[in-house]
Amino acid sequence: MSKYHWWRDAVIYQVYVRSFLDSTGDGVGDLAGVRAGLPYLKKLGVDGIWLSPFYPSPQHDHGYDVADYRDVDPLFGDLAEFDLLVAAARRLGIKVLLDIVPNHCSSGHPWFEEALTAEPGSAARARFHFADGRGADGEEPPNNWHSMFGGPAWSRVTEADGRPGQWYLHMFAPEQPDWNWRNPEIAAEFDRTLRFWLDRGIDGFRIDVAAGLFKHPELPDSDDPEADARTRDSVNPLAWNQPEVHRVWREWRAICEEYTARDGRERLLVGEVSVPTAREHALYVRSDELHQAFFFDLLSAPWEADAFRKVISEAMQDIAGTGSTVTWVLNNHDQVRTVTRYGEPATEGSRLGAARARAAALLMLALPGAAYIYQGEELGLPEVVDLPDDVLTDPIFHRTGSRARIRDGCRVPLPWSGQASPFGFTSGAESAKPWLPQPEYFAEYATDRARADTRSFWHLYRDGLQLRATLPQLGEGSLHWLDSVPGVLAFVRGDGLVCAVNFGTAPTPAPVSGTPLLSSGPCPAGVLPGSTAAWWINDR
Protein backbone atom coordinates (compact mmCIF):
# COMPACT_ATOMS: atom_id res chain seq x y z
CA MET A 1 0.00 0.00 0.00
CA SER A 2 1.30 3.41 -0.93
CA LYS A 3 2.43 5.62 1.95
CA TYR A 4 1.45 8.71 -0.01
CA HIS A 5 -1.73 10.23 1.35
CA TRP A 6 -3.15 11.79 -1.79
CA TRP A 7 -5.64 13.97 0.03
CA ARG A 8 -3.07 15.85 2.09
CA ASP A 9 -2.36 18.29 -0.71
CA ALA A 10 -5.13 17.47 -3.16
CA VAL A 11 -6.98 20.14 -5.12
CA ILE A 12 -10.66 19.26 -5.32
CA TYR A 13 -13.18 20.93 -7.59
CA GLN A 14 -16.66 21.42 -6.20
CA VAL A 15 -19.30 20.53 -8.79
CA TYR A 16 -22.64 22.13 -8.00
CA VAL A 17 -24.42 19.56 -10.13
CA ARG A 18 -27.56 21.51 -10.99
CA SER A 19 -25.46 24.35 -12.42
CA PHE A 20 -22.57 22.53 -14.07
CA LEU A 21 -23.81 21.06 -17.38
CA ASP A 22 -27.28 19.94 -18.45
CA SER A 23 -27.39 16.89 -20.72
CA THR A 24 -31.18 16.58 -20.96
CA GLY A 25 -32.26 20.08 -21.91
CA ASP A 26 -34.48 20.63 -18.87
CA GLY A 27 -32.39 23.58 -17.68
CA VAL A 28 -30.93 21.71 -14.70
CA GLY A 29 -27.43 20.24 -14.67
CA ASP A 30 -27.15 16.48 -14.15
CA LEU A 31 -24.77 13.57 -13.64
CA ALA A 32 -24.41 12.86 -17.36
CA GLY A 33 -23.43 16.53 -17.72
CA VAL A 34 -20.76 16.08 -15.07
CA ARG A 35 -19.44 13.06 -16.96
CA ALA A 36 -19.31 15.11 -20.16
CA GLY A 37 -17.38 17.82 -18.31
CA LEU A 38 -14.70 15.50 -16.91
CA PRO A 39 -12.18 16.09 -19.73
CA TYR A 40 -12.46 19.83 -19.05
CA LEU A 41 -11.65 19.21 -15.39
CA LYS A 42 -8.80 16.91 -16.30
CA LYS A 43 -7.31 19.69 -18.47
CA LEU A 44 -7.68 22.09 -15.59
CA GLY A 45 -5.64 19.68 -13.52
CA VAL A 46 -7.74 18.97 -10.43
CA ASP A 47 -7.25 15.81 -8.40
CA GLY A 48 -10.88 15.18 -7.62
CA ILE A 49 -14.45 16.41 -7.63
CA TRP A 50 -16.99 16.88 -4.87
CA LEU A 51 -20.56 16.47 -6.13
CA SER A 52 -23.27 18.49 -4.42
CA PRO A 53 -26.26 16.34 -3.32
CA PHE A 54 -28.08 14.57 -6.17
CA TYR A 55 -30.25 12.24 -4.05
CA PRO A 56 -34.04 12.11 -4.30
CA SER A 57 -35.21 15.32 -2.72
CA PRO A 58 -38.09 17.80 -2.89
CA GLN A 59 -35.31 20.39 -3.48
CA HIS A 60 -36.35 22.83 -0.78
CA ASP A 61 -32.66 23.47 -0.18
CA HIS A 62 -31.31 22.15 -3.48
CA GLY A 63 -30.81 18.61 -2.30
CA TYR A 64 -29.61 19.36 1.23
CA ASP A 65 -33.08 18.04 2.10
CA VAL A 66 -32.59 14.34 1.36
CA ALA A 67 -35.60 12.04 1.03
CA ASP A 68 -33.60 8.92 0.13
CA TYR A 69 -29.89 8.68 0.90
CA ARG A 70 -29.24 5.74 -1.38
CA ASP A 71 -30.55 6.71 -4.80
CA VAL A 72 -30.32 9.41 -7.48
CA ASP A 73 -33.08 11.94 -8.06
CA PRO A 74 -34.51 11.50 -11.60
CA LEU A 75 -33.77 15.20 -12.05
CA PHE A 76 -30.07 14.33 -12.06
CA GLY A 77 -30.06 10.81 -13.57
CA ASP A 78 -30.07 7.38 -12.03
CA LEU A 79 -27.74 4.91 -10.36
CA ALA A 80 -26.59 3.49 -13.70
CA GLU A 81 -25.53 6.99 -14.80
CA PHE A 82 -23.84 7.49 -11.46
CA ASP A 83 -21.82 4.31 -11.98
CA LEU A 84 -20.79 5.49 -15.45
CA LEU A 85 -19.62 8.79 -13.97
CA VAL A 86 -17.54 7.09 -11.29
CA ALA A 87 -16.00 4.75 -13.86
CA ALA A 88 -15.18 7.61 -16.24
CA ALA A 89 -13.62 9.63 -13.44
CA ARG A 90 -11.55 6.65 -12.35
CA ARG A 91 -10.23 6.21 -15.89
CA LEU A 92 -9.11 9.85 -15.87
CA GLY A 93 -7.57 9.59 -12.42
CA ILE A 94 -10.13 11.98 -10.90
CA LYS A 95 -11.35 11.11 -7.40
CA VAL A 96 -15.04 11.39 -6.62
CA LEU A 97 -16.45 12.67 -3.33
CA LEU A 98 -20.15 12.71 -2.50
CA ASP A 99 -21.89 15.20 -0.27
CA ILE A 100 -23.51 13.45 2.67
CA VAL A 101 -26.06 15.26 4.84
CA PRO A 102 -26.25 13.66 8.29
CA ASN A 103 -27.58 16.52 10.43
CA HIS A 104 -31.06 16.56 8.91
CA CYS A 105 -33.13 14.94 6.18
CA SER A 106 -36.13 16.05 4.16
CA SER A 107 -39.63 16.27 5.56
CA GLY A 108 -40.36 13.95 2.61
CA HIS A 109 -38.09 11.21 4.04
CA PRO A 110 -40.24 8.13 4.80
CA TRP A 111 -39.06 8.08 8.41
CA PHE A 112 -40.21 11.64 8.95
CA GLU A 113 -43.53 10.95 7.25
CA GLU A 114 -43.93 7.99 9.58
CA ALA A 115 -43.07 10.17 12.57
CA LEU A 116 -45.75 12.67 11.62
CA THR A 117 -48.49 10.07 11.75
CA ALA A 118 -47.07 8.31 14.82
CA GLU A 119 -47.97 9.03 18.45
CA PRO A 120 -46.00 11.42 20.63
CA GLY A 121 -43.39 9.34 22.48
CA SER A 122 -43.31 6.67 19.74
CA ALA A 123 -40.17 5.04 18.35
CA ALA A 124 -40.84 6.78 15.02
CA ARG A 125 -40.74 10.20 16.68
CA ALA A 126 -37.62 9.28 18.65
CA ARG A 127 -35.60 9.40 15.42
CA PHE A 128 -36.08 13.18 15.40
CA HIS A 129 -36.39 15.88 18.04
CA PHE A 130 -40.08 16.02 18.81
CA ALA A 131 -41.11 17.84 21.99
CA ASP A 132 -44.16 19.34 23.62
CA GLY A 133 -44.52 23.08 23.36
CA ARG A 134 -44.51 25.53 26.22
CA GLY A 135 -47.40 27.73 27.34
CA ALA A 136 -50.86 26.65 28.48
CA ASP A 137 -51.71 24.81 25.24
CA GLY A 138 -48.19 24.06 24.12
CA GLU A 139 -48.49 26.91 21.64
CA GLU A 140 -44.92 28.14 22.16
CA PRO A 141 -41.88 26.29 20.84
CA PRO A 142 -40.02 24.01 23.29
CA ASN A 143 -37.07 26.42 23.38
CA ASN A 144 -36.02 29.77 21.96
CA TRP A 145 -33.53 28.59 19.31
CA HIS A 146 -33.54 30.17 15.89
CA SER A 147 -33.00 28.41 12.59
CA MET A 148 -29.86 29.22 10.59
CA PHE A 149 -32.19 30.27 7.80
CA GLY A 150 -34.19 32.68 9.99
CA GLY A 151 -37.32 32.19 12.11
CA PRO A 152 -37.78 29.70 14.92
CA ALA A 153 -35.94 26.37 14.82
CA TRP A 154 -39.19 24.55 15.65
CA SER A 155 -42.38 23.84 13.72
CA ARG A 156 -45.61 22.50 15.17
CA VAL A 157 -47.36 19.45 13.77
CA THR A 158 -51.01 18.52 13.61
CA GLU A 159 -51.72 15.27 15.42
CA ALA A 160 -53.92 12.42 14.17
CA ASP A 161 -56.95 13.88 15.99
CA GLY A 162 -56.60 17.09 13.98
CA ARG A 163 -55.38 19.16 16.91
CA PRO A 164 -52.13 21.15 17.04
CA GLY A 165 -49.62 18.91 18.76
CA GLN A 166 -45.88 18.52 19.29
CA TRP A 167 -43.07 20.51 17.75
CA TYR A 168 -40.02 19.23 15.85
CA LEU A 169 -36.58 20.78 15.61
CA HIS A 170 -35.06 22.00 12.36
CA MET A 171 -31.86 24.04 12.55
CA PHE A 172 -32.37 24.94 8.86
CA ALA A 173 -35.70 25.07 6.95
CA PRO A 174 -38.88 23.40 8.32
CA GLU A 175 -38.52 20.95 5.40
CA GLN A 176 -35.21 19.80 6.95
CA PRO A 177 -36.00 18.05 10.27
CA ASP A 178 -32.91 17.34 12.39
CA TRP A 179 -32.06 13.71 13.11
CA ASN A 180 -31.76 12.64 16.73
CA TRP A 181 -28.25 11.23 16.84
CA ARG A 182 -28.72 10.06 20.41
CA ASN A 183 -30.86 7.31 18.86
CA PRO A 184 -28.53 4.47 17.73
CA GLU A 185 -30.81 3.70 14.78
CA ILE A 186 -29.58 6.85 13.08
CA ALA A 187 -25.90 5.90 13.27
CA ALA A 188 -26.72 2.44 11.95
CA GLU A 189 -28.68 3.88 9.03
CA PHE A 190 -25.81 6.21 8.05
CA ASP A 191 -23.40 3.33 8.33
CA ARG A 192 -25.47 1.56 5.66
CA THR A 193 -25.48 4.67 3.49
CA LEU A 194 -21.71 5.11 3.67
CA ARG A 195 -21.16 1.50 2.66
CA PHE A 196 -23.73 1.71 -0.13
CA TRP A 197 -21.74 4.47 -1.87
CA LEU A 198 -18.29 3.17 -0.94
CA ASP A 199 -19.29 -0.15 -2.50
CA ARG A 200 -20.02 1.76 -5.71
CA GLY A 201 -16.39 2.85 -5.82
CA ILE A 202 -16.31 6.43 -4.60
CA ASP A 203 -13.33 8.03 -2.90
CA GLY A 204 -14.99 9.70 0.05
CA PHE A 205 -17.48 12.19 1.39
CA ARG A 206 -17.87 15.86 2.03
CA ILE A 207 -19.87 15.98 5.25
CA ASP A 208 -22.53 18.65 5.56
CA VAL A 209 -22.80 20.49 8.91
CA ALA A 210 -20.13 18.28 10.47
CA ALA A 211 -20.12 20.21 13.74
CA GLY A 212 -23.85 19.54 14.07
CA LEU A 213 -25.64 16.21 14.62
CA PHE A 214 -25.81 16.33 18.44
CA LYS A 215 -27.67 18.97 20.39
CA HIS A 216 -27.43 19.67 24.11
CA PRO A 217 -29.41 16.74 25.63
CA GLU A 218 -31.76 19.04 27.58
CA LEU A 219 -32.42 21.39 24.63
CA PRO A 220 -32.28 24.39 27.00
CA ASP A 221 -32.93 28.02 26.02
CA SER A 222 -30.03 29.89 24.52
CA ASP A 223 -28.69 33.17 25.98
CA ASP A 224 -28.41 34.62 22.49
CA PRO A 225 -31.13 32.85 20.47
CA GLU A 226 -30.70 34.90 17.33
CA ALA A 227 -26.96 34.39 17.04
CA ASP A 228 -27.12 31.67 14.37
CA ALA A 229 -29.59 33.46 12.15
CA ARG A 230 -27.77 36.78 12.61
CA THR A 231 -24.30 35.53 11.81
CA ARG A 232 -25.39 32.62 9.63
CA ASP A 233 -22.70 30.74 11.45
CA SER A 234 -23.09 27.86 13.85
CA VAL A 235 -22.37 29.72 17.06
CA ASN A 236 -25.21 28.63 19.37
CA PRO A 237 -23.10 26.47 21.73
CA LEU A 238 -26.12 24.35 22.67
CA ALA A 239 -26.98 23.37 19.11
CA TRP A 240 -23.54 22.73 17.61
CA ASN A 241 -20.12 21.36 18.40
CA GLN A 242 -21.22 18.92 21.11
CA PRO A 243 -18.41 16.58 22.16
CA GLU A 244 -20.38 13.43 21.20
CA VAL A 245 -20.01 14.22 17.49
CA HIS A 246 -16.36 13.19 17.56
CA ARG A 247 -17.40 9.62 18.25
CA VAL A 248 -19.28 9.56 14.92
CA TRP A 249 -16.23 10.80 13.01
CA ARG A 250 -14.11 8.11 14.61
CA GLU A 251 -16.63 5.49 13.48
CA TRP A 252 -16.80 6.88 9.96
CA ARG A 253 -13.01 7.03 9.76
CA ALA A 254 -12.85 3.37 10.79
CA ILE A 255 -15.24 2.49 7.96
CA CYS A 256 -13.02 4.34 5.49
CA GLU A 257 -9.94 2.57 6.81
CA GLU A 258 -11.72 -0.75 6.40
CA TYR A 259 -12.21 -0.05 2.68
CA THR A 260 -8.65 1.20 2.31
CA ALA A 261 -7.33 -1.97 3.92
CA ARG A 262 -9.19 -3.99 1.28
CA ASP A 263 -7.89 -2.31 -1.86
CA GLY A 264 -5.22 0.19 -0.83
CA ARG A 265 -7.25 3.17 -2.06
CA GLU A 266 -7.40 5.82 0.61
CA ARG A 267 -10.89 7.22 1.19
CA LEU A 268 -11.35 10.81 2.32
CA LEU A 269 -13.73 12.49 4.78
CA VAL A 270 -13.85 16.27 4.55
CA GLY A 271 -16.08 18.07 7.02
CA GLU A 272 -17.96 21.32 6.76
CA VAL A 273 -16.86 22.39 10.22
CA SER A 274 -17.94 25.83 11.41
CA VAL A 275 -16.66 26.32 14.92
CA PRO A 276 -15.48 29.49 16.65
CA THR A 277 -11.69 28.94 16.78
CA ALA A 278 -8.91 27.24 14.83
CA ARG A 279 -8.13 25.26 17.99
CA GLU A 280 -11.62 23.74 18.17
CA HIS A 281 -11.49 23.15 14.43
CA ALA A 282 -8.31 21.14 14.91
CA LEU A 283 -10.14 18.64 17.12
CA TYR A 284 -12.11 17.46 14.09
CA VAL A 285 -9.00 16.44 12.17
CA ARG A 286 -7.27 14.39 14.84
CA SER A 287 -5.66 11.35 13.25
CA ASP A 288 -8.60 9.02 13.91
CA GLU A 289 -11.34 11.48 12.89
CA LEU A 290 -11.92 13.45 9.68
CA HIS A 291 -9.05 13.68 7.23
CA GLN A 292 -9.88 17.29 6.40
CA ALA A 293 -12.15 20.09 7.57
CA PHE A 294 -12.70 23.22 5.49
CA PHE A 295 -10.86 26.12 7.07
CA PHE A 296 -13.38 28.90 6.48
CA ASP A 297 -11.40 31.62 8.26
CA LEU A 298 -9.47 32.27 5.05
CA LEU A 299 -12.73 32.64 3.16
CA SER A 300 -14.11 35.10 5.70
CA ALA A 301 -10.93 37.18 6.08
CA PRO A 302 -11.14 40.72 4.68
CA TRP A 303 -8.69 41.62 1.91
CA GLU A 304 -5.95 42.82 4.28
CA ALA A 305 -2.45 41.46 4.68
CA ASP A 306 -2.62 41.33 8.48
CA ALA A 307 -5.95 39.49 8.50
CA PHE A 308 -4.69 36.90 6.02
CA ARG A 309 -1.44 36.44 7.90
CA LYS A 310 -3.28 35.92 11.18
CA VAL A 311 -5.65 33.24 9.86
CA ILE A 312 -2.91 31.44 7.95
CA SER A 313 -0.64 31.41 11.01
CA GLU A 314 -3.40 30.14 13.28
CA ALA A 315 -4.32 27.40 10.85
CA MET A 316 -0.72 26.31 10.48
CA GLN A 317 -0.18 26.26 14.21
CA ASP A 318 -3.42 24.66 15.38
CA ILE A 319 -4.50 22.46 12.52
CA ALA A 320 -1.22 21.38 11.07
CA GLY A 321 -0.23 20.57 14.67
CA THR A 322 -2.69 17.64 14.63
CA GLY A 323 -0.73 15.88 11.91
CA SER A 324 -3.38 16.72 9.31
CA THR A 325 -2.99 19.44 6.72
CA VAL A 326 -5.01 22.61 6.35
CA THR A 327 -7.92 22.55 3.89
CA TRP A 328 -8.07 25.96 2.25
CA VAL A 329 -11.13 27.35 0.56
CA LEU A 330 -12.04 30.73 -0.91
CA ASN A 331 -15.39 30.02 -2.56
CA ASN A 332 -18.31 27.65 -2.32
CA HIS A 333 -22.00 27.46 -3.15
CA ASP A 334 -22.96 29.33 0.04
CA GLN A 335 -20.74 32.39 -0.30
CA VAL A 336 -20.46 35.52 -2.40
CA ARG A 337 -17.82 34.82 -5.05
CA THR A 338 -14.35 36.27 -4.42
CA VAL A 339 -14.37 38.54 -7.48
CA THR A 340 -17.36 40.37 -6.02
CA ARG A 341 -16.46 39.98 -2.36
CA TYR A 342 -13.06 41.58 -2.82
CA GLY A 343 -14.38 44.22 -5.19
CA GLU A 344 -14.91 47.87 -4.34
CA PRO A 345 -17.69 48.67 -4.98
CA ALA A 346 -19.10 45.16 -4.89
CA THR A 347 -20.43 44.98 -8.43
CA GLU A 348 -19.87 42.39 -11.07
CA GLY A 349 -17.73 44.78 -13.08
CA SER A 350 -15.05 45.28 -10.48
CA ARG A 351 -11.61 44.95 -12.01
CA LEU A 352 -10.08 45.38 -8.59
CA GLY A 353 -12.13 42.48 -7.29
CA ALA A 354 -10.94 40.34 -10.17
CA ALA A 355 -7.28 41.25 -9.63
CA ARG A 356 -7.57 40.46 -5.94
CA ALA A 357 -9.41 37.19 -6.58
CA ARG A 358 -6.58 36.13 -8.91
CA ALA A 359 -3.99 37.05 -6.31
CA ALA A 360 -5.93 35.18 -3.60
CA ALA A 361 -6.02 32.09 -5.82
CA LEU A 362 -2.24 32.08 -6.22
CA LEU A 363 -1.85 32.62 -2.51
CA MET A 364 -4.16 29.71 -1.68
CA LEU A 365 -2.47 27.38 -4.14
CA ALA A 366 0.90 28.22 -2.62
CA LEU A 367 -0.13 27.35 0.94
CA PRO A 368 0.77 23.99 2.47
CA GLY A 369 -2.18 21.61 2.47
CA ALA A 370 -5.24 20.88 0.37
CA ALA A 371 -7.43 23.33 -1.54
CA TYR A 372 -11.00 23.34 -2.83
CA ILE A 373 -12.11 25.29 -5.89
CA TYR A 374 -15.78 26.04 -6.51
CA GLN A 375 -17.03 25.69 -10.09
CA GLY A 376 -16.78 28.97 -11.96
CA GLU A 377 -13.96 30.17 -9.71
CA GLU A 378 -11.55 29.05 -12.44
CA LEU A 379 -13.41 31.37 -14.84
CA GLY A 380 -13.36 34.35 -12.49
CA LEU A 381 -17.15 34.41 -12.45
CA PRO A 382 -18.55 37.28 -10.44
CA GLU A 383 -21.57 36.93 -8.17
CA VAL A 384 -24.79 37.61 -10.05
CA VAL A 385 -26.08 40.39 -7.85
CA ASP A 386 -29.21 41.48 -9.68
CA LEU A 387 -31.37 38.37 -9.91
CA PRO A 388 -35.03 39.39 -9.69
CA ASP A 389 -36.91 38.33 -6.56
CA ASP A 390 -39.22 35.99 -8.44
CA VAL A 391 -36.38 33.70 -9.56
CA LEU A 392 -34.68 33.43 -6.16
CA THR A 393 -34.81 29.94 -4.70
CA ASP A 394 -32.70 30.23 -1.57
CA PRO A 395 -34.81 29.35 1.51
CA ILE A 396 -32.95 32.12 3.34
CA PHE A 397 -34.63 34.67 1.08
CA HIS A 398 -38.04 33.13 1.53
CA ARG A 399 -37.73 32.83 5.32
CA THR A 400 -36.25 36.24 5.99
CA GLY A 401 -37.51 38.31 3.08
CA SER A 402 -34.01 39.72 2.91
CA ARG A 403 -31.68 39.65 -0.08
CA ALA A 404 -28.70 40.10 2.23
CA ARG A 405 -26.29 37.17 1.93
CA ILE A 406 -28.59 35.04 -0.21
CA ARG A 407 -26.91 32.25 -2.13
CA ASP A 408 -28.47 32.15 -5.60
CA GLY A 409 -25.97 34.62 -7.03
CA CYS A 410 -23.08 32.16 -6.84
CA ARG A 411 -25.17 29.26 -8.19
CA VAL A 412 -26.05 30.58 -11.65
CA PRO A 413 -25.36 27.90 -14.31
CA LEU A 414 -21.91 27.94 -15.88
CA PRO A 415 -21.31 29.51 -19.30
CA TRP A 416 -19.53 27.07 -21.59
CA SER A 417 -19.67 28.67 -25.02
CA GLY A 418 -21.41 31.12 -27.32
CA GLN A 419 -22.67 34.67 -27.06
CA ALA A 420 -26.08 34.23 -25.47
CA SER A 421 -27.77 32.27 -22.70
CA PRO A 422 -27.80 29.29 -22.21
CA PHE A 423 -24.11 29.59 -23.25
CA GLY A 424 -23.85 25.86 -23.99
CA PHE A 425 -25.02 24.97 -20.48
CA THR A 426 -27.99 22.98 -21.70
CA SER A 427 -27.90 20.61 -24.60
CA GLY A 428 -31.56 21.30 -25.24
CA ALA A 429 -33.29 23.53 -27.72
CA GLU A 430 -32.33 27.18 -27.79
CA SER A 431 -35.49 27.87 -25.87
CA ALA A 432 -34.23 25.71 -22.97
CA LYS A 433 -33.91 27.96 -19.96
CA PRO A 434 -31.30 27.45 -17.28
CA TRP A 435 -32.97 27.14 -13.86
CA LEU A 436 -31.51 30.52 -12.90
CA PRO A 437 -31.12 33.20 -15.59
CA GLN A 438 -27.59 33.84 -16.82
CA PRO A 439 -26.70 37.49 -17.35
CA GLU A 440 -25.54 38.61 -20.79
CA TYR A 441 -22.08 39.43 -19.50
CA PHE A 442 -21.50 35.70 -18.82
CA ALA A 443 -20.43 35.58 -22.50
CA GLU A 444 -17.08 37.06 -21.43
CA TYR A 445 -16.51 34.19 -19.01
CA ALA A 446 -17.46 31.22 -21.18
CA THR A 447 -15.04 28.31 -20.87
CA ASP A 448 -14.18 28.29 -24.58
CA ARG A 449 -13.17 31.95 -24.45
CA ALA A 450 -11.27 31.47 -21.22
CA ARG A 451 -9.31 28.58 -22.63
CA ALA A 452 -8.37 30.55 -25.74
CA ASP A 453 -7.06 33.53 -23.74
CA THR A 454 -3.78 33.00 -21.92
CA ARG A 455 -4.52 35.95 -19.63
CA SER A 456 -7.71 34.36 -18.33
CA PHE A 457 -8.44 33.07 -14.85
CA TRP A 458 -8.62 29.62 -16.40
CA HIS A 459 -4.97 29.73 -17.48
CA LEU A 460 -3.90 31.09 -14.12
CA TYR A 461 -5.59 28.22 -12.29
CA ARG A 462 -4.36 25.64 -14.79
CA ASP A 463 -0.77 26.93 -14.64
CA GLY A 464 -0.89 27.07 -10.86
CA LEU A 465 -2.19 23.51 -10.66
CA GLN A 466 0.44 22.28 -13.08
CA LEU A 467 3.22 23.84 -11.03
CA ARG A 468 1.72 22.37 -7.87
CA ALA A 469 1.81 18.97 -9.47
CA THR A 470 5.44 19.29 -10.53
CA LEU A 471 7.29 21.48 -8.02
CA PRO A 472 8.31 19.67 -4.84
CA GLN A 473 8.14 22.91 -2.83
CA LEU A 474 4.38 23.18 -3.32
CA GLY A 475 1.66 21.06 -1.76
CA GLU A 476 2.58 19.69 1.64
CA GLY A 477 5.60 21.04 3.48
CA SER A 478 6.96 23.99 5.42
CA LEU A 479 6.08 27.68 5.25
CA HIS A 480 8.33 30.45 6.60
CA TRP A 481 7.25 34.04 6.61
CA LEU A 482 9.68 36.55 5.10
CA ASP A 483 10.03 40.11 6.33
CA SER A 484 7.95 42.38 4.17
CA VAL A 485 6.65 45.92 4.05
CA PRO A 486 3.17 46.65 5.46
CA GLY A 487 0.41 45.46 3.14
CA VAL A 488 2.56 42.72 1.62
CA LEU A 489 2.74 39.06 2.66
CA ALA A 490 5.71 37.00 1.59
CA PHE A 491 6.68 33.48 2.50
CA VAL A 492 9.00 30.78 1.36
CA ARG A 493 7.97 27.20 0.74
CA GLY A 494 10.39 24.32 1.10
CA ASP A 495 13.87 25.01 -0.23
CA GLY A 496 13.06 28.21 -2.02
CA LEU A 497 9.73 28.83 -3.67
CA VAL A 498 8.77 32.36 -2.69
CA CYS A 499 5.18 33.57 -2.84
CA ALA A 500 4.40 37.23 -2.26
CA VAL A 501 1.08 39.06 -2.33
CA ASN A 502 0.64 42.81 -2.47
CA PHE A 503 -2.69 43.59 -0.81
CA GLY A 504 -2.30 47.32 -1.46
CA THR A 505 -2.86 49.14 -4.74
CA ALA A 506 0.61 50.72 -5.18
CA PRO A 507 3.61 48.72 -6.47
CA THR A 508 6.32 47.63 -4.03
CA PRO A 509 9.77 46.13 -4.60
CA ALA A 510 9.53 42.36 -5.18
CA PRO A 511 11.16 40.12 -2.56
CA VAL A 512 13.07 38.24 -5.30
CA SER A 513 14.91 39.95 -8.12
CA GLY A 514 14.17 37.67 -11.10
CA THR A 515 11.12 37.24 -13.27
CA PRO A 516 8.38 35.29 -11.51
CA LEU A 517 7.50 31.76 -12.45
CA LEU A 518 3.84 32.67 -12.33
CA SER A 519 2.00 35.83 -11.38
CA SER A 520 -1.63 36.78 -11.07
CA GLY A 521 -1.16 39.88 -13.24
CA PRO A 522 1.63 41.65 -15.17
CA CYS A 523 4.71 41.52 -12.94
CA PRO A 524 7.98 42.98 -14.26
CA ALA A 525 11.22 41.75 -12.66
CA GLY A 526 11.93 43.43 -9.34
CA VAL A 527 8.44 44.85 -8.83
CA LEU A 528 5.29 43.51 -7.20
CA PRO A 529 2.38 45.59 -8.51
CA GLY A 530 -0.68 46.28 -6.35
CA SER A 531 -3.36 43.58 -5.98
CA THR A 532 -0.96 41.01 -7.38
CA ALA A 533 0.57 37.74 -6.21
CA ALA A 534 3.59 36.01 -7.71
CA TRP A 535 5.70 32.90 -7.29
CA TRP A 536 9.47 32.82 -7.78
CA ILE A 537 12.12 30.17 -7.38
CA ASN A 538 14.74 31.77 -5.22
CA ASP A 539 17.98 30.04 -6.19
CA ARG A 540 20.34 32.59 -4.75
Residues known to be catalytic: 208, 258
Nearest residue to 525 (alpha-carbon basis) of 509, 538, 540: 509
**Helical (H) or strand (E) element with 97:** strand 95-100
Distance (Å, rounded) from C-alpha 383 to C-alpha 235? 26
Distance (Å, rounded) from C-alpha 156 to C-alpha 141? 8
3-state secondary structure of 499: strand
For residue 150, the minimal CB distance to ligand NOJ (Å) is 12
Distance (Å, rounded) from C-alpha 30 to C-alpha 20? 8
Distance (Å, rounded) from C-alpha 286 to C-alpha 265? 20
Which CB, 166 or 327, lies closer to ligand NOJ?
A: 327
Distance (Å, rounded) from C-alpha 322 to C-alpha 524? 40
Mask of contacts with ligand NOJ, 34-63, x by CB under 6 A? ---------------------------x--
Which CB, 231 or 347, lies closer to ligand NOJ?
A: 231
For residue 266, the minimal CB distance to ligand NOJ (Å) is 24
Max intra-chain CA distance, the chain? 82
Which CB, 372 or 425, lies closer to ligand NOJ?
A: 372
Distance (Å, rounded) from C-alpha 232 to C-alpha 171? 11
**Helical (H) or strand (E) element with 515:** none
Which CB, 172 or 423, lies closer to ligand NOJ?
A: 172
Q: Per rule CB under 6 A, is residue 334 in the interface with ligand NOJ?
A: yes
Which CB, 411 or 468, lies closer to ligand NOJ?
A: 411
3-state secondary structure of 309: helix
Which CB, 47 or 208, lies closer to ligand NOJ?
A: 208
492 phi, psi to nearest 5 deg: -115, 140
For residue 435, the minimal CB distance to ligand NOJ (Å) is 16
Q: Per rule CB under 6 A, is residue 339 in the interface with ligand NOJ?
A: no
Say if CB 295 and CB 329 are below 8 A apart.
yes
Which CB, 9 or 408, lies closer to ligand NOJ?
A: 408
Q: How far apart are the first and last CA of the chain?
A: 39
Within 412-431, which residues bind ligand NOJ (CB under 6 A)?
A: none
3-state secondary structure of 408: helix
Within 450-479, which residues bind ligand NOJ (CB under 6 A)?
A: none
For residue 212, the minimal CB distance to ligand NOJ (Å) is 9
Among 72, 209, 213, 412, interactor with ligand NOJ by CB under 6 A: 209
Q: Per rule CB under 6 A, is residue 64 in the interface with ligand NOJ?
A: yes
Say if CB 311 and CB 298 are below 8 A apart.
yes
For residue 274, the minimal CB distance to ligand NOJ (Å) is 9
According to DSSP, residue 184 is labeled H
According to DSSP, residue 178 is labeled B
Nearest residue to 100 (alpha-carbon basis) of 212, 9, 184: 212
Q: Per rule CB under 6 A, is residue 114 in the interface with ligand NOJ?
A: no
Q: Say which residues have a Cβ less than 8 Å from residue 429's Cβ, sequence separation at least 6.
A: 25
Distance (Å, rounded) from C-alpha 189 to C-alpha 138? 32
Closest residue to ligand NOJ, based on beta-carbon distance: 64
For residue 53, the minimal CB distance to ligand NOJ (Å) is 8
Which CB, 107 or 484, lies closer to ligand NOJ?
A: 107
Q: Number of residues in contact with ligand NOJ, rule: CB under 6 A? A: 9
Distance (Å, rounded) from C-alpha 15 to C-alpha 38? 11
Distance (Å, rounded) from C-alpha 54 to C-alpha 256? 22
For residue 416, the minimal CB distance to ligand NOJ (Å) is 24
Strands 130-131 and 164-169: antiparallel
For residue 8, the minimal CB distance to ligand NOJ (Å) is 23
Which CB, 209 or 360, lies closer to ligand NOJ?
A: 209
For residue 172, the minimal CB distance to ligand NOJ (Å) is 5
409 phi, psi to nearest 5 deg: -65, -20
Say if CB 272 and CB 209 are below 8 A apart.
yes
Distance (Å, rounded) from C-alpha 414 to C-alpha 381? 9
Among 208, 266, 318, 377, interactor with ligand NOJ by CB under 6 A: 208
Among 172, 425, 491, 536, interactor with ligand NOJ by CB under 6 A: 172
Q: Per rule CB under 6 A, is residue 233 in the interface with ligand NOJ?
A: no
Among 81, 228, 266, 272, interactor with ligand NOJ by CB under 6 A: 272
User: Which residues sit at the interface with ligand NOJ, rule CB under 6 A?
Assistant: 61, 64, 101, 172, 208-209, 272, 333-334
